[in-house]
Amino acid sequence: MRTFTAILRFELRAALRERTLPLLFALFACALAYAMGNGLRWAAARTEAFDHVRRDLAQQHGQALTRFRDAETRAASRAVSPAALAAGIWYRPTLPLAPLSFVAVGQADRFPFETRFHPTNVRAVFAPRPVSIDHPAESAAGRFDVAFVLVTLLPVLLLVACFDAWVRDRESGVARLLLAQPVSVAQLVFAKILARGGTLLAASMALLAAALVGGAQAAGLPLDVGGLLVAEAGVLGYGAFWLGVAALINLTVASAAASAVAVGATWIAVVGLAPAALGAALDLVRPPPDMGALVNTLRVSDLEQDEAEARAAAETRAAGPRGNALEAALAKTERQKRARAELRAPFEAQAAARLHLANTFRLFVPSVALQDTLERVAGHDADRALSFQQQVWSFIDSLHHFIRQPAPVASAKSSLDERYAAVPRFAFVAPAGPDRLGPLKANLALLLGASGMALLAAGWLARPKLTKKHHG
Amino acid sequence: MVRTIIRHQWLLLLRDRRARWGGLALAAITLTAFVAGSVRTERQTAERARAAAENASNWDRQGVVDPHGAAHFGHFVFKPVSPLAALDPGTDDHLGTMVRLEAHRQHAASALPDGTGAALASFPAVSPAFALQVFAPVLLILVAFGTFAGEGPRQLLRQELAGGVRPGVLLAGRFLAYAAGVGGLLMLGGLGCAVWLALDGAAAAEFARLGLWLAGYGLYLIAILALALGISARCRSAPIALVSLLAFWALAMLVAPRLAPSVAAALYPLPSAPELDLEAGDDVNERLDRGQTVQTRPERLRKMAMDKYGVARIEDLPVNLSGLLLEYAEEQSTAAYREHFAAVYRRYAQQDAAQLWFAWLSPLPALRAWSAAMAGTDVAHHRHFLEAAENYRHAFVQALNRDILQNRPAGSSNTVAYKADVAKITAGLGTFAPSSVSLRDAWARAWPGLAALTAWAAAMTMFAASAARKLARLT
């Protein structure tokens, strides 16, 4: 161990003298700073979008309250109940930003972050609407966010730092002299990789932690310490995987040029080709649901339902005086909701099967696993977005329940504003427990497992019987 | 002499395992991407055609209903898939595939082709364009970095130059050998695509687009090749040449393409979807003096109606007032929405122009713009579809409004009192079938991309030529 530490210290001094490490770290810092700025800009734009939603809703509620106030003035003896108030206004539930939302834009533009509905008409809930009108070139090229820097650029920098760590000594003949000393190849290779790549990785992780803390403060969001630790653990696993790859390549190729080719090819395979190939396989095995067919199916159902409702209304009118109009409207909405849920079920099942397969595929490739980790930490993953949709449907149920309850007699003293305050509001509850931790644990296990395997394989290649080969 | 050098270089290329396996891998990736892309585009074409037919039948099956109710039921129109989308999906995967058309408002396109939302979607999808844009330069770099670099110390270059060949001729010969390989592979791929287009019954313009698409890639790869040879000729050591070229690749192919749109977006920010919605809605309300119900329409509109028909009292109008107001309101809301969407597209254009400045840093942003334009998968083609959809929306809504104006009893605003067969009213409009963007229009918008690529190819060739003059120093 003492020998290893001595080699490590020597290599570290040598690496710092070469100025490669500071240069690579400076590059990482620049990329991270830009990505942070970009992520914060995106988060600010999304916050502004929330403000517009709130403004629009406040305007609508203001108009509704004016109507109610006028009605109360006209019939001074009748106060509008909170249930009637709840049934007479629009709702716009929103999916709030997660504390580390600036880390990765992820799937934020693929799922709705807000929806609108009236308690007596839920057809518009999550109707197809554009989520973002940003220039599509931005999402087509990929966002320059922190996730991009960590998943794509950090490995490049680690590989540049380490690609010739040992191979250069072998090429120049220095390895022969070094191995004449009482040290093993494994000690030399791992000390060199650790001194170069390990130092760069540790410095990058420290900078990342500082950036995330600073970013949360700048965005005015609370600091998610758990999320930060998960992100750091993911980066550590991913970085260690690439250091293992670098060690493996250093031990298997004979020249620096061949090593550069090999690390480049591995990087392309892991970061570019494998995810693209899995994406193509996903398309072939589980194509996405046909949204056009879904829309048409729902429209046919709406037409049929409207015709049936119109017939029923005509019959009711013919039979005698009308019952409770609000109750009738709620019953109609319930029927709409049930009919739509039945029609959507096969499409949602197809989408869920596709998502499940895509989530399984992520565990084959470390780059996708880290991307998924960072998207989950940022709260821009499919599971959180789908949880939002489920919570909105549950909220609609609870709202209907609130409206249906025998209306409590509004106190003559309670103002309209006080009764309005009693109307249920949607509040998103972020998934916690196994729902959130399960996928994160799987990602971290994959990343740490992959790095462990790469390092073990390198250790196996560097075992003493191969020493002869490394003499050059 | 040049011919001999080319023949010799070809021999070396054939013997080079890196070139052989790399070339095969690239061909396999490109071919697989093309097959996967064509399966996808065929599925999308079939789905959208089916959906369009279902939409038409849904419209017809409404029967006799309130025309304004039908205008709200509206249509859904589906974006046609470009025949060359299998080569380059461009921005199509990030744009909506269908548009809801209804009275009073212009919707943006919704429903992304893949809304699955897994982390895999954050990685670029495999396509022939992506393979040629990102992987082909790596292959060229790996094959060409050692062409001159490293020959100096090994004294090979000295022997070659001692044979009487001038450094410029040597470089030109090797450059032509590689370029012939690149050109040959591109032409082979192009021929395959042309056969596929012919079997698909594509129009002649699609073949021209394919040719121009390939020309862009030819210029791009020539630029990369010339750069690789230039760097190789300037560096004494092969690893330094390789690392320099890979650093350029990482900067130009990884960083610059993501940097360009994000910088452009920061310079020319866009409103969010809810903001656009709210602002357009406010604008419509302002134009129509809203805040009042249909029954208590502002006097201004009533007066306008009476002036139009030259009557003194509303009751004397020969047409239905509701129909008249609906027609007027539609004109106003259409103008408001068109104005707001036009402002968004102006911002897109400003962002496009800003992105093109990054062509100084990397040829990839220019190639991406050119490639998507020729494949018919860029924003301009999407806008063309949206405008056609908007014109269709305006036409069918106004046809229904005119029917109300002419046929609903003059004094009635009761929607139950008047119903009509809406399919008959809109029969004259036919089904929605947007025209395709002409090659001339696509060229007019995309030529700066090709110009930037030509400039890159010319500049890199000059750089290689200047490097050739310094080749002798390596000896």
A415-431 pLDDT, tens digit per residue, is 888 888 888 999 999 98
Chain-centre distance for alpha carbon A107: 6
For chains A and B, what is the number of CB pairs under 8 angstroms?
263
Tell the residue number behind the tokens 């083609």, with chain if given: B381
Which of B457, B253, B448 minimizes the C-alpha distance to B353? B448
Of the partner residues B247, B254, B274, the one whose CB lies closest to the CB of residue A49? B274
Nearest CA in chain A to B22: A265
* The dihedral sign for the CA sequence B345, B347, B349, B351: negative
Angstroms from A113 CA to nearest CA on chain B? 10
Angstrom distance (rounded) from CA B285 to CA B329 = 10
Of the partner residues B259, B272, B351, the one whose CB lies closest to the CB of residue A49? B272
Nearest CA in chain A to B62: A303
Q: Is B273 on the interface with A (CB under 8 A)?
A: yes
Q: Is A155 in contact with A240 (CB distance < 8 Å)?
A: no
**CB atoms inside a 10 Å sphere around CB B121:** 25
Q: Is B425 in contact with B397 (CB distance < 8 Å)?
A: no
Q: Which residues of B touch A292 (CB under 8 A)?
A: 47-48, 50-52, 54-55, 76, 78, 97-98, 111
Angstroms from A1 CA to nearest CA on chain B? 33
Angstroms from A342 CA to nearest CA on chain B? 20
**CB atoms inside a 10 Å sphere around CB B398:** 18
Nearest CA in chain A to B95: A136
pTM, two decimal places: 0.90
Tens of pLDDT, residue by residue over B389-409, are 999 999 999 999 999 988 887
When pLDDT is cut at 50, 70 and 90, the band that residue A436 belongs to is confident
Average pLDDT in the A318-327 region?
68
Please list the residues that pair with B101 across neighbouring strands: B75, B106
Angstroms from A410 CA to nearest CA on chain B? 29
Q: Which residues of B touch A293 (CB under 8 A)?
A: 47, 50-51, 54
Q: Is B152 on the interface with A (CB under 8 A)?
A: no
Cβ–Cβ gap B266/A41 under 8 Å: yes
Of the partner residues A138, A141, A260, the one whose CB lies closest to the CB of residue B243? A260
Cβ–Cβ gap A52/B278 under 8 Å: yes
**pLDDT of A302 over the 60 cut:** yes
Contacts of A92 (CB under 8 A, 6+ apart): A53, A56, A57, A114, A115, A116
Cβ–Cβ gap A283/B47 under 8 Å: no
Cβ–Cβ gap B18/A111 under 8 Å: no
List the B98-102 sheet strands across, edge first. B75-78, B98-102, B105-106
pLDDT at A466: 46
Q: Is A392 in contact with B144 (CB distance < 8 Å)?
A: no
Angstrom distance (rounded) from CA A279 to CA B37 = 11
pLDDT at A100: 94
* Cα three-residue angle A173-A174-A179, rounded to 5 degrees: 105
Cβ–Cβ gap B108/A132 under 8 Å: no
Question: Whole-angstrom distance between the N-terminal and C-terminal Cα of chain A?
Answer: 26
When pLDDT is cut at 50, 70 and 90, the band that residue B290 belongs to is low
pLDDT at B155: 67
* The dihedral sign for the CA sequence B196, B200, B201, B207: negative
Of the partner residues B114, B258, B277, the one whose CB lies closest to the CB of residue A141? B258
Nearest CA in chain A to B238: A257
DSSP state of B99: E
Nearest CA in chain B to A352: B116
Q: Which residues of B touch A45 (CB under 8 A)?
A: 269, 272
Q: Which residues of B touch A368 (CB under 8 A)?
A: 119-120, 123
Write out the two tokens for A286.
């589980």
Which of B267, B258, B209 minimizes the C-alpha distance to B82? B209
Cβ–Cβ gap A381/B111 under 8 Å: no
Average pLDDT in the B409-433 region?
81
Of the partner residues A52, A139, A277, the one whose CB lies closest to the CB of residue B274? A52
pLDDT at B152: 60
Q: Which residues of A touch B271 (CB under 8 A)?
A: 133
pLDDT at B475: 56
Q: Is A211 in contact with A36 (CB distance < 8 Å)?
A: yes
Cβ–Cβ gap B272/A137 under 8 Å: no
Angstroms from B310 CA to nearest CA on chain A? 36
When pLDDT is cut at 50, 70 and 90, the band that residue B450 belongs to is very high
Angstroms from B261 CA to nearest CA on chain A? 5
Please list the residues that pair with A14 across neighbouring strands: none
Nearest CA in chain A to B19: A261
Q: Which residues of B touch A137 (CB under 8 A)?
A: 91, 261, 264, 351-352, 355, 368, 379
Phi and psi at residue B75, in whole multiples of 5°?
-125, 160
Nearest CA in chain B to A299: B58
Angstroms from A398 CA to nearest CA on chain B? 26
Of the partner residues B96, B239, B261, the one whose CB lies closest to the CB of residue A141? B261
Of the partner residues A133, A137, A276, the one whose CB lies closest to the CB of residue B125? A276
Write out the two tokens for A309.
């409702």
Angstrom distance (rounded) from CA B241 to CA B228 = 8
Residue B467's alpha-carbon distances to B169, B232, B236, B464, in angstroms, are 12, 9, 12, 5
When pLDDT is cut at 50, 70 and 90, the band that residue B6 belongs to is confident
Residue A27's alpha-carbon distances to A136, A267, B174, B258, in angstroms, are 28, 18, 35, 16
Range with lowest mean pLDDT among A143-157, A179-193, A266-280, B141-155: B141-155
**pLDDT of B301 over the 70 cut:** yes
Tens of pLDDT, residue by residue over B334-384, are 999 999 999 999 999 999 999 988 888 899 999 999 999 999 999 999 999
Please tell me whether residue B106 adopts helix, strand or coil conformation: strand
Cβ–Cβ gap B138/A362 under 8 Å: no
Of the partner residues A110, A164, A264, the one whose CB lies closest to the CB of residue B138? A264
Of the partner residues A136, A280, A358, the one whose CB lies closest to the CB of residue B95? A136
pLDDT at A428: 95
Cβ–Cβ gap A144/B258 under 8 Å: yes
Angstrom distance (rounded) from CA A317 to CA A324 = 13
**pLDDT of B412 over the 80 cut:** no
Average pLDDT in the B414-428 region?
83
Arithmetic mean of pLDDT over chain B: 87
**pLDDT of A206 over the 80 cut:** yes
Residues 91-130 in B contacting A (C-alpha not used; CB under 8 Å): 91, 93-98, 100, 107-126, 130
Percent of chain A at pLDDT above 70?
A: 95
Which of B103, B443, B285, B222 minimizes the C-alpha distance to A63? B285
**pLDDT of A390 over the 90 cut:** yes
Q: Is A254 in contact with A464 (CB distance < 8 Å)?
A: no
Give B226's Cβ-side CA count (13 Å radius): 23
Cβ-count burial of A374 within 10 angstroms (0-12 exposed, 13-18 middle, 19+ buried)?
Answer: buried
Phi and psi at residue A431, in whole multiples of 5°?
-60, 140
| ipTM reported for the complex, 2 dp | 0.86
Angstroms from A131 CA to nearest CA on chain B? 6
Angstrom distance (rounded) from CA A264 to CA B85 = 29
* The dihedral sign for the CA sequence A373, A375, A380, A381: negative
Q: Is A362 in contact with A368 (CB distance < 8 Å)?
A: yes
Hey, of B122, B240, B370, which one would you mutate to test binding to chain A, going by the most A CBs within 10 A of its CB? B122
Tens of pLDDT, residue by residue over A69-97, are 888 888 766 777 888 889 889 999 999 99
Hey, of A24, A46, A138, A271, which one would you mutate to test binding to chain B, going by the most B CBs within 10 A of its CB? A138
Residue A128's alpha-carbon distances to A91, A124, A394, B55, in angstroms, are 17, 9, 20, 16
Angstroms from A66 CA to nearest CA on chain B? 12
Cβ–Cβ gap B117/A382 under 8 Å: yes
What is the residue type of A281? A
pLDDT at A406: 61
Q: Is A215 in contact with A40 (CB distance < 8 Å)?
A: yes
Angstrom distance (rounded) from CA B66 to CA B326 = 13
* Cα three-residue angle A462-A466-A471, rounded to 5 degrees: 100
Residues 176-235 in B contacting A (C-alpha not used; CB under 8 Å): none
Q: Which residues of A touch B260 (CB under 8 A)?
A: 141
Hey, of A133, A156, A170, A253, which one would you mutate to test binding to chain B, going by the most B CBs within 10 A of its CB? A133
Q: How many residues does chain A have?
A: 472
Average pLDDT in the B460-472 region?
86
**CB atoms inside a 10 Å sphere around CB A319:** 8
What is the residue type of A392? V
Cβ–Cβ gap B117/A280 under 8 Å: no
